[in-house]
C-alpha cells in the first residue's frame, strides 16, 4: 500500500494567498502540500485499491494525526510525506529523507521525466522535523516530497512556491502510484 500523508494544519490564524506571476504567494505551510496531494487525488488516476491519502493534523505540535495513521502502517507500505521545504534548488520539487536503496531505485526508475533533487538526508535549513519521524519507525519505505518555498521561514511569513512545482509534484505522485504496483510486487 502507498500512504500519502500531508498535514493540513498551519501556524497561522489568518491565511493569505495570491498569485504573483508564476508563483503562489502566501502562508503556504502546508496548504501547498495538501493542494498537491489533493490534485493527484482528484485526477482519478492514482489507483485507490493500493493508495491511501491522509490529511493529518498536529504536525505543528505533537504529530497526533500522523501517529493515528502510523497505527495502520506495515513494513511493506510506502509512505510519502508531502510538505513545504526551504531546501535550495532550481528543480520543480525535492525528495528528502529517502534512505532506502530500494525506494531510491524505484524513484529514479519512475521519475525519469521529472526535474527534481533526491537526498537521503534533509537539507532544509528551516526544519528537519516532520511526519517522517513518526512513519520511519513502522517502515523503511518512506520519503519526503518537498515543494520548494522561498522568501523566508515558511513557519512565520508569506513565502513563494512555483505553480509549476505544485503541478509537477502532483504529477509525480500520480506516476509513483501508477508504477508502484509493478515495481513492488
Please state whether beta strands 93-96 and 78-85 pair in parallel, antiparallel, or not at all (unpaired): unpaired
pLDDT at 79: 98
Q: Give the SS3 label for residue 92.
A: coil
Between CA 179 and CA 111 the distance in angstroms is 10
Residue listed under C-alpha cell 504529530: 63
Q: What distances in angstroms separate CA 96 from CA 4, 29, 85, 138, 144, one per listed residue?
A: 15, 17, 9, 18, 5
Inter-residue contact 78 to 132 (CB < 8 Å): no
Q: What is the mean pLDDT of residues 47-65?
A: 90
Q: Strand, coil or helix: what is 40?
A: helix
Residues listed for the chain = 185
User: Distance between CA 62 and CA 44 in Å, rounded?
Assistant: 32
Task: Give the domain range for residue 171.
Answer: 2-184
Assign 174 a pLDDT band (cuts: 50, 70, 90): very high
> Residue 63: in which H helix or E strand, if any?
none
Of 62, 68, 184, nearest in space to 135 by CA: 68
For residue 13, the domain's CATH number is 3.40.630.10
Phi, psi of 68, deg, nearest 5 = -65, -45
Average pLDDT over residues 71-87: 97
Answer yes or no: pTM beyond 0.85: yes
Q: Are strands 78-85 and 2-7 parallel, antiparallel or unpaired?
A: parallel
- Residue 182's pLDDT is 65
Q: What is the pLDDT of residues 104-148, one digit of tens each?
A: 999 999 999 999 999 999 999 999 999 999 999 999 999 999 999
| Residue 47's pLDDT band (cuts 50, 70, 90) | confident
Total domains present in the chain: 1
Amino acid at each position: 500500500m502507498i500512504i500519502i500523508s500531508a498535514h493540513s494544519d498551519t501556524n497561522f490564524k489568518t491565511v493569505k494567498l495570491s498569485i504573483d506571476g508564476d508563483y503562489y504567494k502566501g502562508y503556504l505551510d502546508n496548504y501547498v502540500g495538501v493542494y498537491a496531494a489533493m490534485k493527484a487525488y482528484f485526477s482519478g488516476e492514482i489507483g485507490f485499491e493500493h493508495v491511501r491519502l491522509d490529511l493529518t493534523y498536529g504536525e505543528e505540535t505533537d504529530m497526533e494525526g500522523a501517529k493515528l495513521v502510523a497505527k495502520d502502517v506495515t513494513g511493506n507500505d510506502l509512505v510519502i510525506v508531502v510538505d513545504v521545504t526551504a531546501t535550495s534548488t532550481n528543480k520543480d520539487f525535492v525528495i528528502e529523507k529517502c534512505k532506502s536503496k530500494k525506494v531510491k531505485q524505484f524513484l529514479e526508475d519512475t521519475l525519469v521525466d521529472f526535474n527534481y533533487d533526491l537526498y537521503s538526508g534533509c537539507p532544509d535549513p528551516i526544519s528537519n522535523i516532520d511526519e517522517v519521524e513518526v512513519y520511519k519507525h513502522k517502515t523503511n519505505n518512506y520519503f519526503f516530497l518537498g515543494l520548494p518555498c522561498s522568501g523566508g521561514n515558511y513557519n512565520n511569513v508569506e513565502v513563494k512556491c512555483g505553480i509549476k512545482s505544485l503541478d509537477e509534484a502532483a504529477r509525480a505522485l500520480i506516476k509513483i502510484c501508477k508504477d508502484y504496483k509493478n515495481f513492488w510486487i
